[in-house]
Amino acid sequence: MRQTLRILTILALLLAGGLANAERIKDLATIAGIRNNQLIGYGLVVGLDGSGDQTTQTPFTVQAILSMLSNLGVNVPPGNTLQLKNVAAVMVTTNLPPFARPGQQIDVTVSSLGNAKSLRGGTLLMTPLKGADGNVYAMAQGNVVVGGAGATGGGSSVTVNHLSAGRIAGGATVERAVPSTVGQGETVTLELGSTDFGTVQRVVEAINKASAPGTAYALDGRQVMVRAPVDSDARVAFLGRIENLSVEPMQTAAKVIVNSRTGSVVMNQSVTLQNCAVAHGNLSVTVSTEAVISQPAPFSGGQTVVSETSQIDIEQKGGNLIDVKAGAALADVVKALNALGATPLDLVSILQAMKAAGALRAELEII
């Protein structure tokens, strides 16, 4: 009995380890035609505590206020210059999810368009949200929630987080639905997030094994055509089963991402190194400027002359030639790069040199 339990435990661990890298098809691919649609609108946020736009510098805010008041039956006398501090012009953006129906509520993001200091405590007035075709698909309105705080006094100011943008939960109501079709006729197309012929083949094998041979076939390195029932109920149930099938994707291509602005370096587990020698030294340039004041003699009628003297020092710290061992695993690569003792910004140049020398076996992408 104990021996049997041991065998079952070992089998369970092996199965768990084999499925550790498996992912659902719904995490690897999407159904063609099922997508979000971006909406955008121009509106006004009112009720601000003196932190709105400076209307003398944002004429479009005044124009929007006059247009709104005119539509509400309020006529402003010509030549009357509005000086309002409690109103801000904003852009309202959101994503219309697939299969959204009229009456459904969605979240919106409200961002200041002018020079408002804060949108905290403001209320967004009714704003039509349009799609790329110019049609109105939703109407937004509600109280703006800003995840920040700020205070000003005595010439000093303190700001926590960002105050010129906020969100309204359920702030938009869908007014028009976007037609969405799940496939055409008897077929549905699955689109992988990235091109990979090996992963596409495994997706096809998993679908055919779970349903019937010939149900799915590959179109290219990213698309899989699936034969699905025509009846809507049966098609939804069929796609629900397909999306939850587990597939172990192929190992991704080796890639190193370098952010040249922040010095961040990110690499995946496929990155490897070949033997190479690296010498790294720091070069620092120091420029110091000192003001020299020349005073004339008393009662000489001369003028005080101010001049500057500059001194430039260049210092280069020596760097030893380090033998970087080859690494077939990500842990070995990290250990070898740490042995160089370089800062993240210096590491960018070192990785570029390694790539040029053929020692870095990965695609180097600079963002």
Q: Is the pLDDT of residue 243 over 80?
A: yes
Any domain includes 17: no
Q: Comparing C-alpha atoms, which of 137, 56, 124 is closest to residue 94? A: 137
Helices marked H in 187-293: 197-210, 232-243
Any domain includes 293: no
pLDDT in tens, 133-148: 999 999 999 999 987 6
Q: Which of 191, 220, 247 is the last residue of a domain?
A: 247
Q: Comparing C-alpha atoms, which of 246, 260, 191, 264 is closest to residue 224? A: 191
In the structure, what pLDDT confidence band is assigned to residue 128 with cuts at 50, 70 and 90? Answer: very high
Residues 69 and 119 in one domain: yes
User: In 182-232, where do the E strands start and end?
Assistant: 187-192, 216-218, 223-227
In the structure, what pLDDT confidence band is assigned to residue 49 with cuts at 50, 70 and 90? Answer: confident
Residues 134 and 113 in one domain: yes
Helices marked H in 107-227: 197-210
Q: Which of 38-47, 182-191, 218-227, 306-315 has the lowest mean pLDDT?
A: 306-315
Average pLDDT score, the chain: 79
Question: What pLDDT shows up at residue 32?
Answer: 85
Residues 140 and 263 in one domain: no
Range ranked top by mean pLDDT from 10-14, 69-73, 122-126:
122-126
Residues 6+ positions from 179 with CB-CB distance below 8 Å? none
Q: Which of 30-39, 65-74, 159-168, 284-293 has the lowest mean pLDDT?
A: 284-293
Query: By percentage, how much of the chain surpasses pLDDT 70?
Result: 74
Residues 42 and 169 in one domain: yes
The average pLDDT across 265-276 equals: 79
Question: What pLDDT shows up at residue 249?
Answer: 83
Q: Supply the pTM of this predicted model.
A: 0.67
The average pLDDT across 105-119 equals: 91
Residues 276 and 319 in one domain: yes
Q: What is the largest CA-CA distance in the chain?
A: 114
Q: Is the pLDDT of residue 102 over 80?
A: yes
Residues 51 and 168 in one domain: yes
In the structure, what pLDDT confidence band is assigned to residue 18 with cuts at 50, 70 and 90? Answer: very low
Q: Comparing C-alpha atoms, which of 53, 171, 58, 48 is closest to residue 119? A: 48
The better pLDDT of the pair 118, 307 is held by: 118
Any domain includes 32: no
Q: Comparing C-alpha atoms, which of 149, 356, 345 is closest to residue 260? A: 345
Q: Comparing C-alpha atoms, which of 283, 297, 268, 272 is closest to residue 349? A: 283
Residues 260 and 358 in one domain: yes
Any domain includes 303: no
Both structure tokens of 69: 């008041």
Question: What pLDDT shows up at residue 12?
Answer: 46
Any domain includes 136: yes
Q: Is the pLDDT of residue 7 over 60?
A: no
The average pLDDT across 259-264 equals: 74
Q: Is the pLDDT of residue 80 over 80?
A: no
pLDDT in tens, 174-203: 999 988 777 667 888 899 888 888 889 999
Query: By percentage, how much of the chain surpasses pLDDT 90?
Result: 23
Any domain includes 12: no
Residues 141 and 44 in one domain: yes
Q: Is the pLDDT of residue 125 over 60?
A: yes
> Alpha carbon of 204 to those of 167, 207, 226, 243: distances in Å?
41, 5, 9, 12
Residues 75 and 137 in one domain: yes
Q: Is the dihedral of CA 164, 168, 173, 179 positive or negative?
A: positive
How far is the C-alpha of 31 from the C-alpha of 184, rounded, in Å? 12
How far is the C-alpha of 66 from the C-alpha of 78, rounded, in Å? 11
Q: Which of 42-46, 93-97, 183-187, 222-226 has the lowest mean pLDDT?
A: 183-187
Any domain includes 264: yes
Question: What pLDDT shows up at residue 318?
Answer: 57
Phi, psi of 127 (to 5 degrees): -130, 120
In the structure, what pLDDT confidence band is assigned to residue 156 with cuts at 50, 70 and 90? Answer: low
Instruction: Please tell me the total count of domains within the chain.
Output: 3
The better pLDDT of the pair 318, 130 is held by: 130
Residues 6+ positions from 163 with CB-CB distance below 8 Å? 51, 117, 118, 119, 120, 146, 148, 149, 150
Residues 63 and 161 in one domain: yes
248 with 339: CB under 8 angstroms? no
Residues 6+ positions from 229 with CB-CB distance below 8 Å? 235, 238
The average pLDDT across 61-79 equals: 82
3-state secondary structure (DSSP) of residue 189: strand
Residues 260 and 325 in one domain: yes
The average pLDDT across 143-168 equals: 71
Any domain includes 307: no
Residues 197 and 109 in one domain: no
The better pLDDT of the pair 170, 340 is held by: 170
Q: Comparing C-alpha atoms, which of 25, 1, 55 is closest to residue 248? A: 25
Quote the domain boundaries for residue 268: 255-284+315-366
| Residue 139: count of CB within 10 angstroms of its CB | 15
